[in-house]
Chains A and B, each alone.
Chain A
Amino acid sequence: MKPEWQVWAKEAKEEFPRANSALMPLLHRIQLEEGWLSDATIADVAQLMGLPVQYVESVVSFYSLFHQQPMGKKVVHVCVGLSCALAGSDELMHHLEQRLGIKEGQSTADGAYTLLEAECLAACDKAPVAQVNLRYVGPVSPDDATQLLSEEVTS
């Protein structure tokens, strides 16, 4: 457990004092720093929140944006919703897989990229749309896959 996590837990509980409302804000904040939520992190959060480890695990595993494996420095989400599919998102995903030499759901060996599917990202006017570390990029035609990977983004 990192010392600042105790401060963050206190701040989250002050902002959201009731029920377990502080839990998700705390998980978000720690994941932003750590990149993912390991079993050890989950156990630490459980301790900070005064909750059973199983409870925290059950919450973490419910939500697709809480990651239980190490993530690449750039997490690329490709929207695979219908409007994006109509504009070429499957081809975009295919190009990205080729370019990175990995399959959807995997990370590159050097830890630079993770490639994931996203359900409709509510940006169908930018189809096909992607997110890099949850920042929108789009429209990204399949041929622009390489450019997407070099996109400068804040972590």
Chain B
Amino acid sequence: MSIRHYLLRNRDVRNIDQIDVYEAHEGYVALRQTLKEYQPDELVAMVKKSGLRGRGGAGFPTGMKWGFLPNDGRTRYLVVNSDEAEPGTFKDRELIEENPHQLVEGIIISSYATRASEAYIYCRGEFRRGAEQLRRAVQEAYDHGYLGKHILGTEFSLDLKVYRGAGAYICGEESALLESLEGKRGNPRLKPPFPAVAGLYGGPTVVNNVETICNLPPLVTYGPEWYTSMGTEKSPGLKIMSVSGRVRRPGNYEIPLATPLRTLIEEYAGGPIPGRTIKAVIPGGSSVPLLMPNQLDTPLDYESVIKAGSMLGSGGCIVLDDQVCIVGATARLVRFYREESCGKCTPCREGTYWMTDVLERVEHGMGQNSDLDLLSDVADNIAGKCFCPLGDASLGVLVSALKHFRHEFEAHVAGHGCPMGARLYDTVNH
């Protein structure tokens, strides 16, 4: 298997986080080319042609998002969402910690394309090193004339600031992120208006994910045809998949979209632990439904994964093997949403609380058969009834687990406890 890397192409280059080394590896060449050869609108057209879709989870076409900005002369903002916190996802952390200049270059190109004059990186509070790396890279970029007034002698000027969050998953939701960036609690805003019209400080704003923006330098270098030569018509290009859980080589892997899930797990991540079999896979972060072993040939592109009943989401692929208790795993994930619910709306705040409570009592042998219907009932009262997507996100694994593994839930009730001994973790490999 030959792996061709693009966004991760310099992951083995020592000190690639230093601007001199980054420049020695063709860093900021794409930016020079952009400012010399492209008008902003041509760049937006190119991104539209490439079919690049948002890599934060929703998969919304990036060029189209950029196209929503109204032409009314107000200051435009580009905000980069680096609040990566979806369980199972760790690609943005690698991108900012290891190669921050790639992101900075992508931000400058994207700001030029969208005519933004101010850009912000909203960095997850837990990413202490990430924020330090970004701050240093930004300062180096200023010192080398890539940021500030009259970038590389052109009329284009841009200020870029790094802002640290302080621990809140909900701030990965773009409107909550903007609230937090304005110095408030991270409660989501009512939409519309969307950020393109009224975003940061009420101004027209684009919010893009780290990985999305990191696609810009190679996109300028290789052109949109390079991007559409990979993946499918509707899901072209590359995606970084974070693989974790019960595999031999957990890590970030950059794949052409439409690579089969089996290839990702078996060839890239080394397959399951010897002697084990795959029980289920969460393909796109903790918010998406399970895929079953008979679905391992599903191509990893947005449409195919939806057709298989799940979502590609953020690309956080968690592999569960035959030694994993589905009830325990589900309880753990739903508890995450209880912890991270902002509390603004009732179905999410109360629903995630009750689902966690019921799941934990089933796992620990105090459940009743009626608890299974109770879980479905609470889930029904969350689905589509919450202010923001967090509530629905708490249901993906739960609802599919109840569908595919109902017998395991029933066995917990009948046997007054977990048949696997109430342990998520087993000592065989440690």
Nearest CB in chain A: distance from B329 CB, A: 6
Contact with B along A59-103 (1 / 0, CB 8 A): 100111110000000000100111101111111000000000000
- Residue ID in chain A nearest B87 by CB atoms: A120
Q: Given that A82-B318, A86-B424 are known contacts, is A135 also in contact with B242, CB under 8 Å in the complex?
A: no
Query: Which one, A28, A83, A122, contacts B124 given CB within 8 A?
Result: A122
Q: Assess whether A118 is interfacial by the CB under 8 Å rule.
A: yes
- Residue ID in chain A nearest B242 by CB atoms: A124
A135 to B127, CA, bound (A): 8
Q: Assess whether A23 is interfacial by the CB under 8 Å rule.
A: yes
Q: Assess whether A107 is interfacial by the CB under 8 Å rule.
A: no
Establish whether residues B167 and A19, one from each chain, have CB atoms under 8 Å apart when the complex forms: no
Chain A 2-25 residues near chain B, CB threshold 8 A: 15-16, 18-25
- Residue ID in chain B nearest A128 by CB atoms: B425
Establish whether residues B90 and A122, one from each chain, have CB atoms under 8 Å apart when the complex forms: yes
Nearest CB in chain B: distance from A26 CB, A: 9
Establish whether residues B185 and A59, one from each chain, have CB atoms under 8 Å apart when the complex forms: yes
Q: How many residue pairs, one in A and one in B, have C-beta atoms under 8 Å apart? A: 149
Query: Which one, B128, B333, B425, contacts A87 given CB within 8 A?
Result: B425
Establish whether residues A90 and B424, one from each chain, have CB atoms under 8 Å apart when the complex forms: yes
Chain B 134-193 residues near chain A, CB threshold 8 A: 161, 163-169, 180-186
Chain B 274-331 residues near chain A, CB threshold 8 A: 286, 316, 318, 320, 324, 329
Establish whether residues B332 and A85, one from each chain, have CB atoms under 8 Å apart when the complex forms: yes
Q: Assess whether B372 is interfacial by the CB under 8 Å rule.
A: no
Residues of A within 8 Å of B336, CB to CB, are 81-82, 119-120
Q: Assess whether A127 is interfacial by the CB under 8 Å rule.
A: yes
Interface centre among A77, A82, A118 (most CB of B within 10 A): A82
Q: Assess whether A41 is interfacial by the CB under 8 Å rule.
A: no
Query: Which one, B84, B180, B329, B342, contacts A82 given CB within 8 A?
Result: B329
Q: Assess whether B85 is interfacial by the CB under 8 Å rule.
A: yes
Q: Assess whether B93 is interfacial by the CB under 8 Å rule.
A: yes
- Residue ID in chain A nearest B201 by CB atoms: A18
Q: Assess whether B403 is interfacial by the CB under 8 Å rule.
A: no
Establish whether residues A20 and B184, one from each chain, have CB atoms under 8 Å apart when the complex forms: yes
Q: Assess whether A141 is interfacial by the CB under 8 Å rule.
A: yes
Query: Which one, A59, A65, A83, contacts B244 given CB within 8 A?
Result: A83
Residues of A within 8 Å of B, CB-based: how many?
Answer: 48
Nearest CB in chain A: distance from B250 CB, A: 4
A18 to B90, CA, bound (A): 31
Nearest CB in chain A: distance from B114 CB, A: 19
Q: Given that A63-B167, A85-B332, A119-B340 are known contacts, is A124 also in contact with B90, CB under 8 Å in the complex?
A: yes
A74 to B75, CA, bound (A): 43
Nearest CB in chain B: distance from A21 CB, A: 5
A16 to B124, CA, bound (A): 18
Query: Which one, B87, B186, B242, B320, contacts A62 given CB within 8 A?
Result: B186
Chain B 101-137 residues near chain A, CB threshold 8 A: 124-129
Q: Assess whether B9 is interfacial by the CB under 8 Å rule.
A: no
Residues of B within 8 Å of A118, CB to CB, are 126
Q: Assess whether B251 is interfacial by the CB under 8 Å rule.
A: yes
A137 to B92, CA, bound (A): 18
A27 to B183, CA, bound (A): 11
B interface residues with partner A (beta carbon < 8 Å)? 84-90, 92-93, 124-129, 161, 163-169, 180-186, 201, 242, 244-246, 250-252, 286, 316, 318, 320, 324, 329, 332-333, 336, 339-340, 342, 424-425, 430
13 A-B residue contacts at CB 8 Å?
A: A20-B184, A24-B163, A62-B186, A83-B245, A83-B250, A85-B332, A119-B336, A120-B336, A121-B126, A122-B85, A123-B93, A141-B430, A142-B430
10 tightest A-B CB contacts, nearest first: A20-B183, A124-B244, A64-B167, A63-B166, A65-B167, A134-B128, A120-B87, A19-B182, A23-B183, A83-B244
Given A58-B185, A82-B329, A119-B169, 19 other A-B contacts at CB below 8 A? Answer: A15-B161, A16-B183, A22-B183, A24-B163, A62-B342, A65-B167, A81-B332, A82-B87, A82-B286, A86-B320, A90-B425, A91-B425, A119-B336, A122-B92, A122-B124, A124-B88, A124-B318, A131-B126, A135-B128
